[in-house]
A and B are shown apart, each in its own frame.
Chain A
Amino acid sequence: DIQMTQSPSSLSASVGDRVTITCRASQSISSYLNWYQQKPGKAPKLLIYAASSLQSGVPSRFSGSGSGTDFTLTISSLQPEDFATYYCQQSYSTPQYSFGQGTKLEIK
């Protein structure tokens, strides 16, 4: 099984801050890494796929990078609507598309 580990598990930040969330895979997954945003009571929403490709309609303040085992999601300037929980997911190992444990982004 491929294990996905996110850090930090929670994060406090202010509107306008630059924020980075890290995701590490237990083995190389090439660029088969996706990022999702989930707000309370809502379904997850795809932000970034294939490590660095921005999903259509997602603001450009979101970006992703990395390959192999280490990946990052960056929000360049936090907006009030960005406070949510973020999950990484590997889609290298079919059908076990495992997720990270999540990073809860809260308002400071």
Chain B
Amino acid sequence: EVQLVQSGAEVKKPGESLKISCKGSGYSFTSYWIGWVRQMPGKGLEWMGIIYPGDSDTRYSPSFQGQVTISADKSISTAYLQWSSLKASDTAMYYCARRSRIAADAWGQGTMVTVSS
């Protein structure tokens, strides 16, 4: 069974750094792109960027370029999303998703990030 398991909820202060994770299992982690999706409270889905764990090829949506860093460690089948300096506007649920063919066919359970002073 394909599974993506994300790290737990985080509560941070503005200016702090954060790295959340997404561990894949049940498939060849290096053979599929992994994307990250933001969902702000009560809002819709926003595609942030995508990484190919096989060679770490990473691409960002323009709105998120320079705001976050996407990475992966294929030795432990884990993708990451990180911030160097959080803002209150980063408060959101973050999902990782596997891209198969042209769609996201498997999703993590989500990681809630709350940034508040």
Contacts and interface: CB of A to CB of B under 8 A. Distances in A.
Given A95-B61, A97-B35, A43 B108 contact: yes
Interface residues of A, number: 24
A96 B101 contact: no
B90 interface: no
Interface residues of B, number: 24
A49 B101 contact: yes
Dominant SS among interface residues on chain A? loop
A64 to B, nearest CB: 11
Given A43-B108, A95-B50, A97-B35, A50 B45 contact: no
Given A95-B59, A97-B35, A44 B45 contact: yes
A99 B46 contact: yes
Contacts of B47: 89, 95-99
B104 interface: yes
User: Which 3 pairs of residues, A with B, have the shortest CB-CB distance?
Assistant: A95-B59, A49-B103, A43-B107
Interface string B7-22: 0000000000000000
A91 B102 contact: yes
22 contacts: A1-B62, A34-B103, A43-B95, A43-B108, A44-B37, A44-B107, A46-B103, A46-B104, A46-B105, A49-B103, A49-B105, A87-B44, A89-B103, A94-B50, A94-B59, A95-B50, A95-B59, A95-B61, A97-B47, A97-B61, A98-B61, A99-B44
